[in-house]
Amino acid sequence: MNGLVKIAVSSLFAFGLAQATVNFPFPQMSDYGGNATLLSDKAKASEDLKKQFQYWMKDMYNESGDVAGVRSNPGSDEYFSEGVGYGMLLMVYFSDNTTSYQSQFDKIWNFYKKMMNENNLMVWKVTNLANKQDQGAALDGDIDAAAALIMAYYQFGDEKYKTDAKALIQAMKKSEFESNGLHLPGDKWGDAGANTKNPGYFDPAYMPLFALVDEENAEFWSKTAYDANMKLYETSSGEVSTGLVDDWTDKDGKSRDDEYGYDASRAPWRNAKAVCWHGDQRALAIDKKMAEYVSTVSAADMKGPVKRSSGSLGGDHNSTFVTSLMTALISDSKYQSKLDEYWAEAVALGDENYFNQSLKLLNGLLVSGNMPNLAKASAAPQSSSAGPESSPSESSSSVAPGPASSSSAPVQTESSSSAVGPASSSSTVDAIASPALLPAESFALHGRVLHLDLHAQSRVDITSVTGVVVKSFRADANSTSVSLADLPCGTYLVRVRSAGVSKVRTFSIK
């Protein structure tokens, strides 16, 4: 951000925005642009999630000096790379205007880097915070850590996270993906690994993000890897009437053990995330099929591992199986009451072990609207009504229409005590020499719709506080309305320019 812009923006936000700690404070309670059916009471779910996260922090997070790990269980000194990925995501999404978890995020990332092997990937298992073992990596931890770094860049506003994300993404491409785009479960699986796949290790929601950061390999991520691994998901789901994805498959997606267990338990969340973030129709079809089966089982009875071919239940009733399968229910509004039932059961399960508790938090964040794609607020749409193709694309921040959301987060204006985070180093906002306040009578917010009463043909820009234009359009001299449903919660500026004069107003989406 250049000097003139800094002066202009600081004059607009002198009433207290400098006190902010993060750009997108919890709770977001987004509706993901209407792409999914979410919990009926997102505010109550957010409160429950915060309590569950506090327990997770107390018993799972463990730091020593400048490093921190996520314990495999309370009191344990054993750590997995998957826990690092979960922990980094949680630090990003649970940061609010009272507590930023950036320091904890940095310490977990330091631990990842300290435990890197020769392929610049963290070894999959560590027996204490100090000693690195000579082991291979596991893609599930690496892929979440890379995505968390991207989200940290937008949440905390530091360019270093984007740089680190690119390096990690490229390391994964080199050692954990075949040239045809198919994933390897880790970097040291050898020839056997080429025919052994774990669909739940792959995340379609991350591919557009990786393409944005790793520009020279954008086509590999957005097309080659996306398509190859979605075919694994589709083949595995298509084998059985339950639609459940297998723990392990061969390179063609054919079943290895007919079991939806702890490995596969990330699959519904990963596909549901692609639906929420990108309106991904292939992911939606997979979740819809799983949801048909899940809707026939009461939340209180759901137990795993589940036999995919018969739907027969196992003996483990915990949040891994309750909340992972819950996320498939976002695929259709007819499952609203069942979705609420499953979340209520997860809350009633209380404090659990590391894996169950981590999955509860991640899945709960998604279905409560608290896991938005933070990069979306920095993508300038070509049109407020445009949507992506059925495969992921970030050419526009708008999204394809999906099932109606159960609710939308309220939008309100603030004239004092708004909250934003640190300014980005790469702003696209041009300098405003003497910004004038947009008159109150010309500006109104109703729900998530912004109404402007314009008196001349104007250019309208809506920008994030990091300076990135998130919506831009021209309007005639009349009343104009624009939907804000696809924007994450946070503070924004609306700027109206006409005949060389700019008028600006700030507002916050809560």
Query: 72-116: per-residue pLDDT in tens?
Result: 999 999 999 999 999 999 999 999 989 999 999 999 999 999 999
pLDDT digits (tens, 9 = 90+) for 463-502: 876 566 778 788 877 788 888 887 877 788 888 888 777 8
Q: What integer pLDDT is reported at residue 190 of this predicted model? A: 63
What Å distances lie between residue 212 and 161, 250, 262, 443, CA to CA?
14, 30, 31, 34
Looking at residue 498, its pLDDT comes to 80
Q: Would you call the peptide bond into 268 cis, given omega within 30 degrees of 0 as the criterion?
A: no
Domain with CATH 2.60.40.3080 in the chain: 411-509
Write 160-163 long-range contacts (CB < 8 A, 24+): 162/213
Is 293 in contact with 275 (CB distance < 8 Å)? no
Average pLDDT over residues 371-399: 47
| pLDDT at residue 152 is higher than 60 | yes
- Which of 41-45, 91-95, 260-264, 495-499 bottoms out in mean pLDDT, i.e. has the lowest? 495-499
Specify the pLDDT at position 441.
72
pLDDT tier at 191, thresholds 50, 70, 90: low
> Angle of helix 267-278 relative to helix 319-326, nearest 10 degrees?
30
Q: Which CATH number is associated with domain 411-509?
A: 2.60.40.3080
pLDDT value, residue 465: 66
More confident residue, 133 or 349: 349
The number of beta carbons lying within 10 Å of the beta carbon of residue 252 is 12
pLDDT at 269 over 80: yes
Residue 41 burial (10 A CB sphere; 0-12, 13-18, 19+): middle
pLDDT at 447: 78
The per-residue pLDDT for 167 is: 98
The lowest-confidence range among 5-9, 59-63, 119-123, 194-198 is: 5-9
What pLDDT shows up at residue 432?
31
pLDDT score of 202 more than 60: yes
Residue among 311, 333, 317 nearest 406 (CA)? 333
3 state SS of 304: strand
* CATH for 30-48+221-379+386-408 (1.50.10.10, 1.10.357.10, 2.40.30.10, 3.30.360.10): 1.50.10.10
Name the segment(s) of the chain with CATH classification 1.50.10.10: 30-48+221-379+386-408
| pLDDT at res. 31 | 92
Return the structure tokens found at 459: 């250019």
Round the average pLDDT of the chain to a whole number and report it.
Answer: 84
- Average pLDDT on 295-314 reads 98
